[in-house]
Structure 1
């Protein structure tokens, strides 16, 4: 007898049919993802290896088969730098094995000298401008940059940097048009008399006859170039680029310097050279008569390890402190403070005084200046120019023309040959004096541009000063990792030296050292050892050196190689013969 077709039986058949459909759909789904083959491979491999922890083994096995991580979101937030000012930190999150994970962060410092002028801002001072810049950067990251990068592999560095650059270009053009409109509005009406140019002062010629006023008109100096355009919010670009590079290195479980080096060379080199650090010992200019030595830096001799270099600088620093205390009691020189650069800020009355102080400290330690210790001077010439006088204020009340500055450097290095580098000895506008200085000193002293060069972005468009040994590069504002790589290639292609430098006000972020090692620059300009945010970078340098030593990948420089900055024109044999027979 057949049972009645009740609602309950129809429900059971429907449930069974639904279950079969679901099972069929599941089977098709897993076959499409090749799960049966993967499971069989995993089990066979586990059985062959017979690991002690089978579950962990299978977990690692399937992890290798999972999709690569992609960027899920990017977050910007305020943090404090070494001076307690707002700066930008960027966090990168990735989708890793179906989980949203924070991978890393990166911080980019806001340099007070590069603080932007924001449209519509009624605040004054660089601190307020930096705060506004950080806030705008955070808005850009949240509203535009983060969404644009979602779903992209973090390893696609060049693609991501191009996205960042494409995002930023309209912002730059908008700011450029705004400033041009402001300048046009501030221009005097047509037909009005323009402000007369400043005429350089005249001076009496020495040796003139009594009663005569033989005036010598000083050669006018080139006017200062307009400052480079800096857009509020631009640190978003540089910080995100660095954070993405750090993210890839973290996911690959390699140091950032190794990843940057692989980007530069397209493969991992067998040896890496550590850049020699310019370690700042002394700073002048805030007090006392001496103005033009913003930094006096120790340069370790070639062949010295980073550990030995830091220990040598610490010994010199301790000896200088002892000696300065003694001298200070006599009233000639006193310790004022520790500068933001992480070194002693002193006062001096003579140009030679800082170098004599270091020489005496070397002698007391049994070191030979020029053999065991070399020096570099950051002259910061752009800070010394008085445009009303058309001269540099080297000492308080003592002024020198650009030509006289060249004479000063030539004389100074003839008496102190241990000075092996001059940073910003002149303004960038004094191009003919750069050439004269290059002819006189370029074969024994690095003539390096810092503020006198361009930002990395503009450097890639216009090159560096032809009469310089190289340039200080800084990771700031809209500079991407790809920009840094291109800038180093450009400088090396010109047979010049690249230096990676800190900004004036730094955070405790130490990735700048990884960048320097990975980029393969010749020198690093890190500041002194008396501030924590600077010491953090030296600690990172020592850690990298230890890693490279342990892996037998540490290379070293054997000598200072000074780029050829000037050579006499070659005269052919035909030209010599023609000159010999030509009438006098």
Structure 2
């Protein structure tokens, strides 16, 4: 072998062993710095360098028409973000819709409502896919405040556009009417004759009718396409939570408390609807729209819902087999069975509960008491009641009174006296929702002073117009214990955060309420927990879109309990008659015998 060849081999061998030793030393150094498995090491390095990558931003919004829980059209909004230079679908949300059209409305009314709903959803899809998609592109999904500000400005511009269009239509209409008047005397005189007759008729009505009650405020017009605002705001909140790797309820709490992470959180008490009472049925009772069960605070949500289910099953059994229920013979001996026979079982409401009618409030409450007693429970100790009166549906404007039973009318002042007697006789009722119209502000003050220390007086109808709720850091409704907030139409997440903050400062409770036409989206429960709502009004324990929300509440409870972050909180009533006194503390939920 030549000398040059031997030198080349020695050089290659030296380089090989030198490189091997360097590799060993580098591996030893890496093991010392990162004592991990190679796969874990690569993950750690990836996480380290990912800190220097660009933060995720919104790259696309997608809106589409889907169906809600009762088969009606609604809006779905999807959020796509650019994550590490790749487009990725982050989340979606499906909006619930709100309708004041009753289930037993006339066919033409239902048809008109469905057409308006279809048009509104179609417009909302266009807004999301076109204007909002362009406007919110490149926005940080965690910047909820900026997103909602932009959405609010866009919606305000749409309101102004609609006003301008209506103004032009009104102007054109007046011009056409003026043109008709100037066509000649024959047309003028023929048109004036029926007008004079109408004036005579209207004059007679004015002389006969006396309406001491203030008229109802007109319903807030819903701008076609407004679902796009609420749907996009909520979808961005879910995207921000996903990007931050936290659940939506914690993300909402961080937004409310300015990024201060709460160490403990409370769960809202469920208001579970068990009966939906028909006000237009052949039965007499009109005062009650919904009957809800509220479990005691001592129970977990799991225990409370299981107890509600037991009561619900017993009520159903009593309605299906009235002659076989315990205590029926004793009632018949007293002559009660013939006087107040139980109403027949009807159907499952869109609220997820039984729809039924009653002839009197006592008949309803006694039947609930019997159902509880049959399974060894007692109202006022093992379970409480809340009643949704929906008083705005009871007013007879011709008489200026509320029709509480068929043919039985009461003035606003008489309604207050009736409620005081009701709570004294049935102290297990701890919440009345909409006991009066929002226009009867003096009577709201009276009932709060009379009953505020015994039960919650809650406004729900007043809370549907979220855009009008807030004025100068105040809740612009009559005196009440709390407000039901619903996430519908143009509601934004920032609106709920602001409103619940004001309610907290005014010692009013927040109730997050489910819409009458719900979707399968569970976000409402996360919002309620994150915002610190005291109650959660979801409807009944039936229908998949409602049961899904109860399941989400149970999952959050399990997660908070596992993390040691679940805090218990007592129910507190506010004594409106004495709260102005210094040092006056709210009354804790009393036992029935204390009333």
Q: Which TM bucket (shorter chain)?
A: 0.7 to 0.9
Q: CA deviation at 1:52?
A: 3.0
Q: Deviations over 1:189-239 (max 9, x none)?
A: 99988755966979xxxxxxxxxxxxxxx7611011121132111111111
Q: CA deviation at 1:464?
A: 3.6
Does the 8 Å contact 1:328/1:334 carry over to 2?
Answer: no
Q: How does 1:491-570 map to 2 (within 5 A)?
A: 491-558=503-570, 560-567=571-578
Equivalent residue number for residue 448 of structure 2: 438
Classify 1:45/1:511 alpha carbon distance in 2 versus 1 (closer, same or farther; 3 Å): farther
In the alignment, which of 456, 470, 495 is matched to residue 460 of structure 1? 470
Equivalent residue number for residue 224 of structure 1: 216
Does structure 1 residue 307 correspond to structure 2 residue 302? yes
In the alignment, which of 309, 313, 318 is matched to residue 313 of structure 2? 318
Classify 1:197/1:230 alpha carbon distance in 2 versus 1 (closer, same or farther; 3 Å): farther
Does structure 1 residue 272 correspond to structure 2 residue 259? no
Classify 1:348/1:123 alpha carbon distance in 2 versus 1 (closer, same or farther; 3 Å): closer
Separation in 2, partners of 1:63, 1:108? 34
TM-score by structure 1 length? 0.81
In the alignment, which of 246, 256, 259 is matched to residue 251 of structure 2? 259
| Aligned-CA RMSD value | 2.9
Specify the SS of the correspondent of 1:83: coil
Deviates more, 1:83-92 or 1:395-404: 395-404
Separation in 1, partners of 2:163, 2:217? 16
Equivalent residue number for residue 24 of structure 1: none
Equivalent residue number for residue 397 of structure 1: 407
Does structure 1 residue 242 correspond to structure 2 residue 204? no
Equivalent residue number for residue 593 of structure 2: none
Specify the SS of the correspondent of 2:470: helix
Q: Deviations over 1:261-289 (max 9, x none)?
A: 01111211000000101110111125222
In the alignment, which of 336, 349, 354 is matched to residue 359 of structure 2? 349
Q: CA deviation at 1:332?
A: 3.5
Does the 8 Å contact 1:200/1:390 carry over to 2?
Answer: no
Equivalent residue number for residue 334 of structure 2: none
Separation in 2, partners of 1:50, 1:528? 52
Separation in 2, partners of 1:263, 1:569? 32
Structure 2: state its 5+ residue gaps: 1-25, 103-108, 182-191, 325-336, 583-595
Does structure 1 residue 421 correspond to structure 2 residue 407? no
Does the 8 Å contact 1:76/1:141 carry over to 2?
Answer: yes
Separation in 2, partners of 1:314, 1:372? 13
Classify 1:50/1:70 alpha carbon distance in 2 versus 1 (closer, same or farther; 3 Å): same
Does structure 1 residue 481 correspond to structure 2 residue 474? no
Classify 1:181/1:447 alpha carbon distance in 2 versus 1 (closer, same or farther; 3 Å): farther
Separation in 2, partners of 1:488, 1:180? 36
Q: Deviations over 1:441-471 (max 9, x none)?
A: 1111100000134522211236243421111
Equivalent residue number for residue 96 of structure 1: 83
Specify the SS of the correspondent of 1:279: strand
Equivalent residue number for residue 184 of structure 2: none
Classify 1:46/1:179 alpha carbon distance in 2 versus 1 (closer, same or farther; 3 Å): farther
Classify 1:570/1:533 alpha carbon distance in 2 versus 1 (closer, same or farther; 3 Å): closer
Specify the SS of the correspondent of 1:303: coil
Does the 8 Å contact 1:199/1:220 carry over to 2?
Answer: no
Does the 8 Å contact 1:333/1:348 carry over to 2?
Answer: yes
Classify 1:168/1:46 alpha carbon distance in 2 versus 1 (closer, same or farther; 3 Å): farther
Does structure 1 residue 296 correspond to structure 2 residue 283? no
Q: How does 1:94-243 map to 2 (within 5 A)?
A: 94-113=81-100, 125-178=112-165, 195-196=202-203, 220-243=212-235
Q: CA deviation at 1:183?
A: 7.5
In the alignment, which of 37, 43, 62 is matched to residue 51 of structure 1? 37
Specify the SS of the correspondent of 1:335: coil
Does the 8 Å contact 1:377/1:423 carry over to 2?
Answer: yes
Q: CA deviation at 1:413?
A: 1.2
Q: CA deviation at 1:177?
A: 4.8
Does the 8 Å contact 2:464/2:486 carry over to 1?
Answer: no
Classify 1:440/1:80 alpha carbon distance in 2 versus 1 (closer, same or farther; 3 Å): same
Does the 8 Å contact 2:468/2:476 carry over to 1?
Answer: no
TM-score by structure 2 length? 0.80
Q: How does 1:1-20 map to 2 (within 5 A)?
A: none
Q: Deviations over 1:531-561 (max 9, x none)?
A: 1111000000000000000000001113x21
Q: CA deviation at 1:61?
A: 3.2
Classify 1:249/1:219 alpha carbon distance in 2 versus 1 (closer, same or farther; 3 Å): same
Separation in 2, partners of 1:334, 1:83? 24
Separation in 2, partners of 1:69, 1:484? 25
Classify 1:154/1:325 alpha carbon distance in 2 versus 1 (closer, same or farther; 3 Å): same
Classify 1:323/1:552 alpha carbon distance in 2 versus 1 (closer, same or farther; 3 Å): same
Q: CA deviation at 1:144?
A: 0.8
Q: CA deviation at 1:569?
A: 7.7
Separation in 1, partners of 2:439, 2:520? 34
Equivalent residue number for residue 370 of structure 2: 360
Separation in 2, partners of 1:542, 1:362? 24
